[in-house]
Structure formats: C-alpha cells, structure tokens
Amino acid sequence: MLHTKIDSERYKAEFIKKLSNFCEKSPVLLSFVTADEGVTIIHANTGARYEFPWDFTKPVKSFIHEIKDVLVARHYPRMLEHITSEVQLTPEEQAVLLEEGTEPDKIPSTRSVVTDRTWRIDRVIVWRDIFILVDEDTNEQYRYKLNKSCVFFLKNYRSGKFTLESAWDYFSKNAVLLNKIEPKLEGETEVEAG
C-alpha cells in the first residue's frame, strides 16, 4: 500500500519560493544555492556557509524554520535598550541608609533601577521601512515604522557603526511603534504585514 507520495521537484519548487520570501524579509543579507544534496545558505556579511540536506518528509515551513533558528542564533541583529524606572525603597533599605548616617529628612523614598531589554530585528519589509522586533526575554513581537531608510540603517549596523546601545538609541528616536503583534490562535492563519 502507498501511504504518501512525495514529489521532490514540487517540494524543491515550494521550498525555493518560500525561502526566497524569507530571505527578502530577513534583516541580514543572505543568498542560497540548491543542489541535489540540499541547500547552502550563505551569510553575505561574514561569508559563513550553512549546509542543510534535503529531508522531503519534513514540511517546507518546518525546514525553513530550522534554517532561521541557525541564522537567528548567529547573525540576526540585536539592539540593547536601557530602561530606567523608579521603585519605592523598602523599610529595610531606608534603615540601612539611616545606619550609614543619612539624615532622616534626607532619605529618598525611591531609587532608580536600570534594566536591559534586548531587541532582535526579526523581519524587515524594506519597501515600507517596517521592522518586526522581538523582545528576546518575552518573545513578544512589535511592528515599528522607521522614518529613515531601513536599508541604510541595516547597512550601518552591519558595518559596525553602531554599538548595541547606539543602534537602539538611533532606532527609537527615528521609529514609531505601530502595534504589538498578538500571537495567532490555534487554527488561525497568519496575516503577513506588507
């Protein structure tokens, strides 16, 4: 009995179409070569090459997701946001200040706390200067519109003109938050921006 028939040429054609779409929206410069054995992904900035053998039993979407996981871990751009907030001093903290000799009327009620948020640039819709950013701590996604050229921003990032902090400073001053992207529920289809 024949359970499933997989047409390797149809699989490759669908894969090439979807991988091309993925590469167009990737924040890194990529090229790829398909061969009989598999696909080679080339990261243009470093010249790094990644080989992925064909596995026709794996859905195309899953195969591309595995490729993306490798690229995200090694090459996707990140930005670092420093968030300063005020928190109330606890009675214990106030007592420590008193013990250190601080005058009772000079003890502050709050202290500044700085936390860091790492943003990953996950996708870019170049012709609209739209960025999909992922908060790496929460995996929440946000859609931003950069009021400058996304191509020049990414080119400057790749060339090392930004530190992680200065990249966020530049981006946050020149971008507008459009919306938070809510995760799709089971059975819903993903609506792609653009």
Render pLDDT for 47-105 as a digit per residue (tens, 0 to 9): 999 999 999 999 999 999 999 999 999 999 999 999 999 999 888 988 888 888 888 88
Instruction: Summarize the confidence of residues 16-22 as an average pLDDT.
Output: 96
Q: What is the pLDDT of residue 104?
A: 83
Give the CA angle between residues 73, 78, 79 to the nearest 5°: 160
The C-alpha atoms of residue 39 and residue 106 are separated, in whole angstroms, by 67
Q: What is the pLDDT of residue 187?
A: 57
Q: Per-residue pLDDT for 135 more than 80? A: yes
Instruction: Summarize the confidence of residues 138-163 as an average pLDDT.
Output: 96
Q: What is the pLDDT of residue 172?
A: 97
Mean pLDDT of the residues in the chain: 90
Give CA separation, 8 vs 11, 18, 66, 134, in Å.
5, 15, 19, 34
Q: Per-residue pLDDT for 1 more than 80? A: no
Both tokens of residue 30? 């990529």
The C-alpha atoms of residue 133 and residue 27 are separated, in whole angstroms, by 10
Q: What is the pLDDT of residue 67?
A: 96
Say which DSSP state 190 is in: P
Nearest one of 164, 180, 181 to 172, comparing CA atoms = 164
Predicted TM-score (pTM) of this structure: 0.81
Q: Are 44 and 158 in contact (CB under 8 A)?
A: no
Confidence of residue 5 (pLDDT cuts 50, 70, 90): low
Task: Check the CA dihedral 60-62-67-68 and report its sign.
Answer: positive
